[in-house]
């Protein structure tokens, strides 16, 4: 691995956030169905990674980092109601998530 692996991984994370930001049309439920994770998962992972390093980041702070704005604002602007088909597919593939 390169010596600056942490910097590379940080750059990749920023690029992932940029990509997700450019695809606000992709709903979290769709991400969950296809990839098994969503923006909220990234937020939880962010909180956990901070805690592992002795830093305190609350979930809403992490969500703002991942969503690029407060979650409530993102939800009002971009989140659509899940369809019955999306909900059924989510339930079939993501039990317990």
pLDDT tens, position by position, 48-87 = 999 999 999 999 999 999 999 999 999 999 999 999 999 8
- Tell me how many degrees the CA angle 71-10-80 measures, rounded to the nearest 5: 25
Helix/strand/coil percent split, the chain, to 5: 70, 0, 30
Confirm or reject CATH 1.10.3340.10 for domain 5-93, answering yes or no: yes
pLDDT tens, position by position, 2-39 = 788 999 999 999 999 999 999 999 999 999 988 999 99
Please say whether the beta carbons of 49 and 61 come within 8 A. Answer: no
Please say whether the beta carbons of 41 and 48 come within 8 A. Answer: no
């Amino acid at each position: 691995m390169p010596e600056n692996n942490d910097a590379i991984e940080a750059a990749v994370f920023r690029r992932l956030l940029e990509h997700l930001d450019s695809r606000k049309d992709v709903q979290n439920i769709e991400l969950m169905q296809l990839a098994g994770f969503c923006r909220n998962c990234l937020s939880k992972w962010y909180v956990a990674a901070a805690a592992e390093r002795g830093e305190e980041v609350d979930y809403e702070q992490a969500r703002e980092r991942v969503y690029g704005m407060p979650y409530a604002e993102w939800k009002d602007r971009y989140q659509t109601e899940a369809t019955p088909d999306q909900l059924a597919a989510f339930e079939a593939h993501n039990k317990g998530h």
